[in-house]
Amino acid sequence: RPLDFDQTIYRVKMQRKVLNSIIMGAPGGGKGTISKKLVKDFGFTHISTGDLLRKNITEKTQIGLAAQSYMQAGKLVPDEVVLDILKQELSVLPAGKSVLLDGFPRTTHQATKLKEFFNIDAVLSLDIPHQVIIERLGNRWIHTPSSRTYSYDYNPPKVKGIDDVTGEPLSQREDDKPHVVKARLEEYAKMTAPLLAYYKQLQKETNGKTVVAEFQGSESDVIYKSVKPFLTNDLKFPTV
């Protein structure tokens, strides 16, 4: 049972064919791993707005060029541009496909804009203790030329600080350093609190047509053991 799910406001009698969902989770908290499992088990189409932006920039589409101009100027890509890219992607999906949105919305403004053209059935929020993430990322070291990744938790190099293949030194990504991770997590928490509050309010207003469920744990495999039965049993969404 997820942490925050009110069974009384959401009773499903029939199996549903479509479950459009958002997955939320702090950076480094295993959201990617859980997303892959959801795609494999339930057949979701996984849509990451970050990946979509990069794809459009690479393909030099009109929207991609617009996004690139903001990024090169060191500015955030405006919501309107991201929404246009998302609309475009959703418009070419086959009918009846369930979508798993990743990385969007990030703010209540984005959520209200999204609601104008796309209904969300479920919000899956992953709550991983920040200290766990800081330690996990702090234990991740890479061999930059090859992108080989090691973790002192479960996949350590044979010699500390040295790449197994080349014997060259390993380095830590700037993003993985504890003080940087801590700042990113604080920023994420600040942005996420109002967004979760927005969807919880929507859950009440829609009498549970949009469901918010929060899952807590320190390992993605353990968390997924709660996520999967929640979808199959509580939301009556079958596996593929």
Q: CA nearest 127: which of 29, 54, 203? A: 29
End-to-end Cα, the chain, rounded Å: 22
Contacts of 89 (CB under 8 A, 6+ apart): 47, 52
- Would you state the pLDDT for residue 2? 57
- Would you state the pLDDT for residue 5? 52
Instruction: Based on the residue annotation, tell me whether 1 is a catalytic residue of this protein.
Output: no
Low-confidence ranges of the chain (pLDDT < 70): 1-14
Which residue in the list 36, 37, 55, 106 is annotated as catalytic? Answer: 106
Which domains does the chain possess? 18-44+98-234 (3.40.50.300)
- Would you state the pLDDT for residue 161? 96
Which residue in the list 173, 204, 209, 225 is annotated as catalytic? Answer: 173
Residue 20 CA to residue 120 CA, distance in Å, equals 5
- Would you state the pLDDT for residue 72? 87
Residue showing tokens 């009498």: 207
Instruction: Based on the residue annotation, tell me whether 173 is a catalytic residue of this protein.
Output: yes
Contact at 8 Å (CB) between 157 and 164? yes
Instruction: Based on the residue annotation, tell me whether 184 is a catalytic residue of this protein.
Output: yes
Residue 97 CA to residue 93 CA, distance in Å, equals 7
- Would you state the pLDDT for residue 10? 46
